């Protein structure tokens, strides 16, 4: 099959191929700007889960996930938007984790709002509406 240079798809792909090294450099610069956050998060995972966690792999997976999500910015709207599998699971799990108190493993008790029962302030009304 012969390739036509008048084909718009071929022309755009040739332009992309020429620009790709510059685009890659700029993408690397963007990830470099956010790398400290990924490194800190991966360090926290290692600290919480254990030394057998491969932080470099976690960072690489996070970067790939960012690129996959960024691709959605250029969807034509005709195809369904596919979610990354672990994101769908995280959305489903979010509510049960909140119901369980989301303080699992924390040595600090959960803070409660309001005054403790039995404490009244001057000007407060009791249950009968009479102030003491």
pTM for the model? 0.54
Please state whether 126 falls in left (phi above 0), alpha (psi between -120 and 50) or beta: beta
Q: Kindly list the domain boundaries of the chain, sorted by start residue.
A: 9-74
Mind listing the pLDDT tens digit for each residue in 29-67? 999 999 999 999 999 999 999 999 999 999 999 999 999
Contacts of 66 (CB under 8 A, 6+ apart): 31
Burial of 42 (0-12, 13-18, 19+ CB in 10 A): buried
Q: Tell me: pLDDT of 126 over 70.
A: no
> Higher confidence at residue 91 or residue 111?
111
State residue 29's pLDDT score.
98
- List pLDDT tens digits, range 63-105: 999 999 999 999 987 765 555 556 555 545 444 444 444 455 5
The pLDDT of residue 99 = 46
């Amino acid at each position: 099959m012969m390739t036509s240079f008048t084909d718009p798809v071929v022309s755009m792909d040739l332009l992309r191929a020429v620009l790709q090294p510059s685009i890659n450099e700029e993408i690397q610069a963007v990830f470099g700007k956010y790398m400290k956050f990924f490194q800190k998060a991966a360090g926290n995972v290692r600290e919480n889960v254990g030394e057998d966690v491969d932080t470099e792999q976690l960072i690489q997976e996070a970067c790939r996930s960012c690129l996959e999500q960024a691709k959605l910015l250029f969807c034509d709207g005709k195809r369904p938007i596919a979610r990354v599998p672990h994101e769908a699971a995280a959305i489903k799990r979010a509510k049960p984790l909140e119901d369980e108190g989301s303080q699992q493993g924390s040595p600090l008790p959960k803070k409660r709002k309001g005054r403790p029962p039995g404490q009244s302030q001057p000007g407060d009304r009791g249950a009968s509406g009479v102030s003491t």
